[in-house]
Amino acid sequence: MFLSKFRSLPGRVNKIDAVDALRRRRLANRFPDAVQISALTGKGLDKLRARIAERFADRFEAVHLFIPYEDGGKLAELYALGAPIDEREDQEAGVHVRARLPHREVRRFARYLVAEARVEPVRRAR
């Protein structure tokens, strides 16, 4: 079951640093959806990360949390989840965190959610 989640990940061609430009073009023609990467040089890894993030984006919900220092255990739980942390700001009373939580975990952090005002464009009266 664990591996089934990864079968639909983007294709990738590794060790691209070991082939010349002509062979890279041939590989691109043969595997047009694959990301050409090199773990040695780092080439293509940003593109691969972006593709993987795209693939799993619908499983996460962007949240803004404020966790007081006295509830530091919750912050540890957040990090233990391995949830992507987009921003962290330590303040006097606690920590503001922007993260992406799995949908099933949002309820667990509900008391720490920060409501954000939505700014609607002002419509002029005619």
Predicted pLDDT of residue 70: 95
Q: Give the predicted TM-score (pTM) of the model.
A: 0.52
Are the C-beta atoms of 44 and 67 separated by less than 8 Å? Answer: no
CATH of the domain spanning 59-112: 3.30.70
Q: What is the mean pLDDT of each run of 10 residues along the chain (126 residues)?
A: 42 79 87 84 84 74 93 92 88 93 90 76 59
Cα first-last separation, the chain: 60
The pLDDT, as a whole number, for residue 3 is 36
Query: Amino acid letter at 113?
Result: L
Q: Counting Cβ atoms within 10 Å, is residue 65 exposed (0-12), middle (13-18) or buried (19+)? A: buried
pLDDT of amino acid 4: 40
DSSP state, residue 70:
G
Distance CA 22, CA 76 (A): 49
Task: Give me the residue spans of the domains in the chain.
Answer: 8-43, 59-112
Exposed / middle / buried, residue 81 (Cβ in 10 Å: 0-12, 13-18, 19+): middle
